[in-house]
Structure 1
Amino acid sequence: MAAAEGVKTFVVEHLDPELEAWSSLEYAAIATESSKSGVEFLLSSVPESLKLPENLHNVQGLKIEHRSIETIYADRKGKVCLLDPSATKELSPEDGDTFQIFLFGGILGDDPPRDRTSELRKKGYEGRRLGPVQMTTDTAVRVTRMIVQDKIPLESIPYVDHPELRINKHESTEMPFRYVKSQDGKPIMPEKGMVELIMKDSERGFGDLL
């Protein structure tokens, strides 16, 4: 399961017994972008009993692993960087030369944050932060890849915070997260299904979505 020498691996340790629609769309987006960028995406700690949703079947760039991050990289702990909102040091382009594996605790995008990452923090991985504003999991992976692979400093990445999405002529909803801003000024989200899911569940709290 180890990546080729020099190839970065992005790991989401799935910390839920189920996999909701919101997460599956984010994981599919991460897999597609990782494949195009020449990096590996690994979804670890997936229960063997978990039935993957259809949109994750045969998606290019996704590797499923039932083992935990501790087991998979037991001999390379020093090469693992945990993206941790509670870390004291921000992720920098130089970290791309130090670490090969970048670890995320799914699901990062809880609102309010439930500090799921604390379960991974206890394992002793060195941590880095991606700024003070909560991100969705796919955004966190996207930003990390831009920093460690493209060598773009954290503060130089264009962001849009808490964007407002129009539900219909009379209603809109504010997303409680930070996103990378696209060239047309819009927040980058999973292309297939995310806006529709947000619209469908606009009257529910984001805690129910996640």
Structure 2
Amino acid sequence: MANIRQSPGKTFVVEHLDPELEEWSSLEYFTIASESHDAGARFLLSSVPASLKLPANLQQAKGLNIETRGIEEIYASSKDKVCLLDPAASKDLSPEDGDTFDIFLFGGILGDDPPRDRTSELRKKGYQGRRLGPVQMTTDTAVRVTRIVVQDRVPVDKIPYIDHPELRINKNESTEMPFRYVKGSDGQPIMPQGMVDLIKKDSEKGLGDLL
């Protein structure tokens, strides 16, 4: 039997580019930390302002590493090992990139709609870039897909996805999510625990503003 090559656990870094931390971001970060921990990977949240008070769920998250320093300072001596996940990159991420790079960098917030190209701030720093396909992803989805590609060695176009799923708010209202998600074993889009309830709450709040 041929030996199946296994990539060692990688480091996934989200450069936090906002002065605050929204509730939906904390749900995404908690999910990234938990999944990274379970997969033998490391999750680093960088550029976190010292004044930012983390919510309770993140204070208790396994696998979460917090850094006030930015990516350039943390990995000053290993820049060639850092891969920037960039929607504007010319080349898609491949399993072979797991042999080249040890650190995979994401610019928060990826889940803007419409996209505001927050990654441009990191692109200017000269990191090698890779793309995750043509459809916008949430930050936790982007990390999940990257981990599947570089650690599990599954090509990015072979991962099952659900694009723009519709969430039922109530019997009369629904909302379409403008992102791509990984399809779970239950056939549903994989989202952070509590995210659907938060979306419903925000949608109902928005509807109330119209009444």
Q: TM-score range by the shorter chain?
A: over 0.9
Encode CA deviations 1:79-102: one digit per residue, 9 max, x unaligned: 000000000000000000000000
TM-score normalised over the length of structure 2: 0.93
- Confirm or deny that 1:98 pairs with 2:100: yes
Aligned counterparts of 1:85 and 1:34: Cα–Cα separation in 2: 22
Look up the match of 1:23: 25
Quote the offset at 1:6 in angstroms.
Answer: 4.3
Q: Return closer, same or farther for 1:61/1:172 CA change in 2, 3 Å cut-off.
A: same
Three-state SS of the structure 1 residue aligned to 2:49 is coil
Aligned counterparts of 1:204 and 1:44: Cα–Cα separation in 2: 32
Encode CA deviations 1:144-188: one digit per residue, 9 max, x unaligned: 000000000011000000000111111111100000001121000
> Among residues 10, 13, 16, which one is paired with 1:14 in the alignment?
16
Quote the offset at 1:204 in angstroms.
Answer: 6.7
> Among residues 156, 164, 167, which one is paired with 2:166 in the alignment?
164
> Among residues 94, 114, 117, which one is paired with 2:116 in the alignment?
114
Aligned counterparts of 1:36 and 1:68: Cα–Cα separation in 2: 25
Instruction: Check conservation: 2:9, 2:151, Cα contact below 8 A.
Output: no
Give the gaps of 5 or more residues in structure 2: 1-6, 207-211
Look up the match of 1:32: 34
Look up the match of 2:209: none
Aligned residues between the structures: 200
Quote the offset at 1:7 in angstroms.
Answer: 3.3
Instruction: Check conservation: 2:42, 2:63, Cα contact below 8 A.
Output: yes
Three-state SS of the structure 2 residue aligned to 1:202 is helix
Question: Aligned letter for 2:144?
Answer: R
TM-score normalised over the length of structure 1: 0.93
Encode CA deviations 1:94-140: one digit per residue, 9 max, x unaligned: 00000000000011000000000000000000000000000000000
Look up the match of 1:144: 146
Aligned counterparts of 1:22 and 1:118: Cα–Cα separation in 2: 22
Q: Structure 1 vs Structure 2: percent identity of aligned residues?
A: 77
Alignment of 1:42-191 (within 5 A): 42-191=44-193
Give the gaps of 5 or more residues in structure 1: 206-210
Q: Tell me the C-alpha RMSD between the 2 structures.
A: 1.3
Question: Aligned letter for 1:141?
Answer: V
Quote the offset at 1:57 in angstroms.
Answer: 1.0
Q: Return closer, same or farther for 1:203/1:118 CA change in 2, 3 Å cut-off.
A: farther
For the pair shown, the structure with the greater C-alpha radius of gyration is: 2
